[in-house]
Amino acid sequence: MVEYTFLSQNAISNLMYLKFTQSNRLPDPKDPSRIINTTTAIAFSMSKDVARSICQCFVDARLIESADGKHQQVYTIKGSVWQLTPKGITILDRFCARNGIQKKQVSELVNLKATRLVVLERDSQTDKLHYDQGTIEIVFRRLIGADSCNAMSSVTAADSSSMLEYRDSITEVKTSAELKVNGKIYRDTFTGKAIINWLMNYTTIMEEREAVAVATLFMDYNLIDCVTKDRAYTFQNPAAGNNIFHFSKHAFYQLTQRANCLINGSSSPRRSPEREHYTSYQRNGIFMGSNTQRLDKILTDPSVRLLFQEQSRDTYCEENLAFYQDVDEFIRNSKAATRAARRELNMTTKAGINDSIAQAYRIYHAFLASGSPCELNIDHQLRNSLTTRMSKA
């Protein structure tokens, strides 16, 4: 019996009448014997077909998988058993942490099989991934294993495509030592499918087309070369052109000389390319000036921001950075909502004000309330003042 599983129909039923409720019990700062209870509830309703489509998106994003060992890729209305993937567990854990939710079951799942994800940022307006070269090179180094977050790797086949192999055994794409094509020997090769599988399993990419876009940038930035194409894939995608990445186990790619230089730079832990990235910014003056100026410069550069976030996570102070970014976003949203409401007060502008209030409560319960999962270490008197203010709102 596999633990922590669910049936297709149960997940669909939950989505059709989904309700998200968050309650917080806090002592009254003026009267410790009195408990202040605040509850936030959000309800959704949808048809069965829409709910099934959303579940299919979860499958496609590698957040859930079949629990019966059949590697089922189609989410059926009923009859199938599913479970969270390590990626899905990690995403769920991040959601709970950011929203101040504490669940024993989530903690148990995290301890069992959570994984380390490369968290890629998205545009807040379009939801598109940021594709700057610095970030793409960091992702590539993780993919090849030059900066592997977890050293365990036992699968050596470069065309490995099983989700279970990626889930249970490896955290990097393994290359074949030699590949012979038309009498010519190629070294350090791997399949297109292996690259896409890694991107889908170990980053926050949610669609295969996004993974293909990132893999195509590996080619554009001269990190991989195509050794042999999949003729069937080319026939099925005639308008793709010569530079499109082939998501196929029959298409092989090779590391370029530039990629090897990028990877070999990590042979010395003191001079890895990612550390060099920091050093170059130091030479250019990014670490000069006040703390605020230095932080602003770090947070402005997507690739440096990614490394800074990971460093904060590794040193157990990620909540400080998350709080800073959330408050910065809250201030900008609140100012925009206030300006709009002053110009014209209507249903839309009122909704904007309500969204800002809800955002304030979310930040408070995630970071500032006593006992919250991401509780910040702040002055006791300041915390009491915040509790008093939030309980009156």
Would you state the pLDDT for residue 162?
Answer: 42
Say if residue 267's pLDDT is above 70: no
Indicate if 253 and 199 belong to the same structural domain: yes
Per the confidence metrics, is the pTM higher than 0.85?
no
Indicate if 29 and 55 belong to the same structural domain: yes
Range of the structural domain that residue 147 is part of? 133-267
What average pLDDT does this structure show over 26-47?
A: 77
Indicate if 323 and 248 belong to the same structural domain: no
SS3 for 280?
A: helix
Indicate if 282 and 350 belong to the same structural domain: yes
Evaluate whether residue 123 is within a structural domain: no
- Dump pLDDT digits (tens) for 335-372: 999 999 999 888 889 889 988 988 888 888 888 887 77
Evaluate whether residue 218 is within a structural domain: yes
Indicate if 257 and 292 belong to the same structural domain: no
Evaluate whether residue 119 is within a structural domain: no
Domain boundary among 212, 238, 267: 267
The answer to which of 33-47, 49-63, 101-115 has the lowest mean pLDDT is 33-47
20 or 306, which is more confident: 306
Would you state the pLDDT for residue 287?
Answer: 52
**Pairing state between β 31-43 and 64-66:** unpaired
For residue 354, the domain's CATH number is 1.10.167.10
Q: How many domains does the chain have?
A: 4
At 166, is the pLDDT very low, low, confident or very high (cuts 50, 70, 90)?
A: very low
